[in-house]
Structure formats: C-alpha cells, structure tokens
C-alpha cells in the first residue's frame, strides 16, 4: 500500500499522557493521579457550562446550527468585531488546518520559532510545504526578519505566548513583524494563552480587533485553556472577511458538535470563572518560581498557564518525567524538542503540593 510521499516526513503528534494510561500501567487509583501535562484548567469545567451541556444532552440527535449564529454573536461582542470576521473550528487546531490547506503547497514554506506548537509543522508538511525555524525559541524580530527575507514564507507563525516554552512576545514586537512582512505572507497570531498574558502584563496583551486592519493577519483563540473546555473542542479565527471567506471553503459542515456549541455560548456569558482561574494561577505560579530558585535550576518567565523548568547536565528531564509518571504525576518532558526541560501546567494548590513533594523525592 502506497501513501502520499509527504507523510514520510511527518511525526505523529504526541499528546500529553492521559490519566487512564497511568491507572492502567502503574496501577495508581485515578483519584491519586495528578495531570499537569496538557495545560487544562485545574478548576475543571465551569459549573454553569457543565449544566448547559447536561441540559442539551437530549438534543444529541440534532445537527448543530451550522451558521453558529449565537456563538459568533457572543464572540463578536466579546472582541468588538463583526460576525463576518469569525470562523469557528473544532479547536483552534482545526482553524490551523484550514489555514494550511488554503495557502500552502509543495512549493511553499512556513516560518516559526525554534520551539513552538507542534501542529504548525504537521499541517505544513501535510501540504508538502517546507518548515523553516529561527535559531531561538523567542520570537525575536531580527531572527524572524532574516529568515523571512531568505525564504519568503507563505505563513509566519507567531505563537504568543508560546507553547511549550511559555515565553511571551510583546505587542510591539508582534506589530513590528506584521508591519515588516509583505501582504503575500499570512501572519498567524496564535493567542491560545492570551488571557494569561493579558492578565500578567498589558504590553503583552494583543486583542484581535487591533489586527483587523491587516488583510494578511489572522488571530486564533480557543476555549480549551483559560475557559476550561479542552474536551469540547472549540476554537476560532478572527480576520478580515475576505480571508475568513476563503477559509470557509475548507470547512466541513457541522464542524463542532451540538453540545460544544452550547457550551461555548454559555462560556461567553460570564467572565467570572475565567477571572477566578487566572487569580488562582497567578498565586500558584509564584510557588513554582520560588521552588526553582530554591532548588537552583532555571525556568522561563511564563505568560501562560504552565511553566518550563530548565535543567543543566546534572539533571535529566527524561529521567525526572519518567520517575514522576510512575508516581502518578504527569508532566511534559521537552526532550523531544531537544531541550533538557519539563513543562508543568500550574494546578490547584493541592496538585502543586503533590508535584513539589514528588519532584523533591525523585531528584533527591
Ligand atoms: C492548545 C493550543 C492550541 C489549540 O488548542 P485547541 O484545543 O485545538 O483549541 C493552539 N495553539 C497553541 C499554542 C496551543 O497551546
């Protein structure tokens, strides 16, 4: 059986390990597993949203409203944009897929930071496009512009704040890159963690309506992180109507479920759950910073709901991640990104206590 040649060069996306795997492989009771690996909201699902999902269960036989009118209206008002600036995806991941299919082919290239969201590369390679990376994980203007001039990529990915490193790029730097590239290059501003960055430092807050003046820029947002709806798979893109119109040609019908749609609409109604989540996060991340300092290793200043710990040669991220996993603590090893580092989603106070305790034991 022959497959498309482009598949030869694609590594299958590796998601954070699920709780079920730790239960199965190490015989740990599910209630004792602490999952800090996928940047999910540790406060769980907003109870008001959970109720709406339950209340809509009897409508599972109905296709959702394919116009997504109500959700678009809610997002349009949240961001002060128009409905025709919006496209909804099954996670912002699906919008990334639409974008890649709309603009890439085997003669094109995409530009991204040295260490960033793995799906940019996978979608690009599916289209046979070439992946160009800058030298560092930070989104530095000089590095991006040098590579841009050399390769003339069709897409420039600016993941801010960046995953899996957690660093942010200021609005000023993002706008500088946007101004410097020509209109034939699409700039994707991936704001999956923007709620956390905006709460931390206003200079890092990018709101999509500030980008609407550019015909070649799209902003991506998601309900999966601060909104605590990773399991519902809802994300969106915001851009000029002409760009959105082209992306719609890639969209399958009913691309999010009836329950996901109801959940996202409800989630837009009340900001208090997101505010509470961010307040908890801001308290707890201080403990992670203090812990790294006490233990004498480095970390990347985080603008997200996770923190990346950087180890020197006296510590090994793979050994640490494996030892933690056996104890039921799931974090992300960044060895596959060629970094001796681990990424930890900031959990609840209790979850974080458990992490610190086991970390001390496995590194003793
Ligand atoms: C989580 C994440 C996404 C998309 O998540 P969805 O669940 O597909 O909405 C996009 N970009 C980055 C950088 C992420 O971390």
Distance (angstroms) between ligand 1 centre and the Cα of 98 equals 14
Q: Which of 117, 121, 137 to mutate to test the pocket of ligand 1 (most atoms within 8 A of CB)?
A: 117
Correct CATH for 5-44+272-362 of 2.60.120.260, 3.90.1150.10, 1.10.540.10, 3.40.50.620: 3.90.1150.10
pLDDT class of 16 with cuts at 50, 70, 90: confident
Measured from the Cβ of residue 338, the count of other Cβ atoms closer than 10 Å reads 9
What atom of ligand 1 comes closest to residue 90's alpha carbon? 8
Average pLDDT on 165-184 reads 97
Q: Is 11 helix (H, G, I), strand (E, B) or coil?
A: coil
What atom of ligand 1 comes closest to residue 225's alpha carbon? 1
Residue 17: pLDDT over 90: no
Average pLDDT on 142-148 reads 97
pLDDT class of 213 with cuts at 50, 70, 90: very high
The percent of residues above 90 in pLDDT, for the chain, comes to 95
Average pLDDT on 70-77 reads 98
Q: Residue 242: what pLDDT?
A: 98
Q: Residue 170: what pLDDT?
A: 97
pLDDT class of 309 with cuts at 50, 70, 90: very high
Residue 226: pLDDT over 90: yes
Q: Is 247 helix (H, G, I), strand (E, B) or coil?
A: helix
What atom of ligand 1 comes closest to residue 163's alpha carbon? 13
Residue 130: pLDDT over 90: yes
Q: Is 116 helix (H, G, I), strand (E, B) or coil?
A: coil
What atom of ligand 1 comes closest to residue 162's alpha carbon? 13
SS (H, E, C) 163-222: CCCCCCCCHHHHHHHHHHCCCCCEEEEECCCHHHHHHHCHHHCCCHHHCCCCCCEEEEEE
| Close Cβ partners of 48 (under 8 Å, ≥ 6 residues apart) | 266, 269, 270, 273
What are the structural domain ranges in the chain? 5-44+272-362, 47-267
Distance (angstroms) between ligand 1 centre and the Cα of 39 equals 9
Q: Which of 120, 190, 237 to mutate to test the pocket of ligand 1 (most atoms within 8 A of CB)?
A: 190
CA–CA distance, 198 with 208 (Å, rounded to integer): 12
Average pLDDT on 296-321 reads 97
Average pLDDT on 283-297 reads 98
Token pair of 109, please? 């290239």
Among 44, 102, 10, 17, residue whose Cα is nearest residue 328 = 17
Measured from the Cβ of residue 114, the count of other Cβ atoms closer than 10 Å reads 15
User: Thinking of the domain 47-267, which architecture would CATH place it in?
Assistant: 3-Layer(aba) Sandwich (3.40)
Q: Is 305 helix (H, G, I), strand (E, B) or coil?
A: coil
| Close Cβ partners of 160 (under 8 Å, ≥ 6 residues apart) | 139, 168, 169, 174, 189, 190, 191, 194, 197, 204, 206, 303
Average pLDDT on 247-253 reads 97
The percent of residues above 70 in pLDDT, for the chain, comes to 100
- Whole-number mean pLDDT of the chain? 96
Among 300, 224, 147, 150, residue whose Cα is nearest residue 158 = 147
Q: Residue 3: what pLDDT?
A: 94
Q: Residue 15: what pLDDT?
A: 81
Average pLDDT on 334-352 reads 97
CA–CA distance, 79 with 22 (Å, rounded to integer): 40
Of all protein residues, the one whose alpha carbon is nearest to atom 11 of ligand 1 is 192
Q: Residue 97: what pLDDT?
A: 98
| Cβ < 6 A, ligand 1 pocket | 91-93, 117, 159, 163, 190, 192, 222, 224-225, 230, 235
Token pair of 45, please? 């699902």
């Amino acid at each position: 059986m022959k497959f498309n040649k482009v598949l030869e060069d694609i590594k299958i996306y590796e998601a954070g390990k699920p709780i079920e795997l730790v239960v199965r492989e190490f015989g740990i009771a599910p209630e004792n597993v602490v999952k800090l690996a996928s940047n999910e909201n540790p406060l769980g699902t907003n109870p008001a949203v959970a109720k709406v999902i339950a209340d809509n269960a009897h409508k599972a036989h109905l296709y959702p409203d394919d116009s997504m009118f109500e959700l678009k209206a809610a997002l349009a008002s949240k961001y002060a944009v128009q409905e025709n600036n919006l496209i909804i995806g099954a996670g912002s991941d699906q919008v990334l897929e639409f974008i890649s299919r709309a603009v890439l082919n085997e003669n094109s290239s995409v530009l991204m930071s040295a260490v960033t969201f793995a799906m940019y590369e996978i979608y690009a390679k599916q289209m046979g496009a070439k992946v160009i990376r800058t030298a560092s994980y930070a989104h530095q203007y000089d590095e991006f512009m040098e590579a841009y001039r050399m390769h003339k990529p069709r897409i420039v990915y600016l993941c801010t704040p960046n995953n899996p490193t957690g660093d942010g790029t200021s609005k000023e730097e993002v706008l500088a890159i946007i101004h410097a590239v020509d209109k034939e290059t699409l700039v994707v501003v991936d704001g999956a963690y923007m709620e956390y960055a905006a709460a931390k430092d206003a200079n890092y807050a990018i709101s999509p309506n500030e980008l609407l003046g550019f015909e070649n820029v799209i902003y991506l947002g998601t309900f999966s992180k601060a909104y605590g709806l990773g399991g519902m798979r809802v994300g969106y893109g915001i851009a000029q109507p002409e760009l959105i119109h082209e992306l719609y040609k890639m969209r399958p019908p009913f691309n999010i479920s009836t329950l996901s749609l109801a959940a996202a609409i409800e989630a837009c109604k009340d900001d208090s759950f997101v505010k509470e989540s961010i307040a908890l996060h801001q308290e707890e991340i201080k403990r992670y910073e203090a812990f790294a300092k006490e233990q004498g290793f480095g970390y990347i200043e985080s603008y997200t709901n996770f923190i990346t710990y950087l180890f020197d040669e006296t510590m090994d991220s793979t050994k640490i991640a494996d030892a933690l996993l056996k104890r039921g603590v799931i974090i992300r090893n960044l060895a596959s990104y060629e970094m001796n580092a681990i990424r930890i989603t900031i959990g609840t106070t209790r979850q974080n206590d458990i992490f610190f305790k086991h970390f001390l034991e496995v590194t003793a």
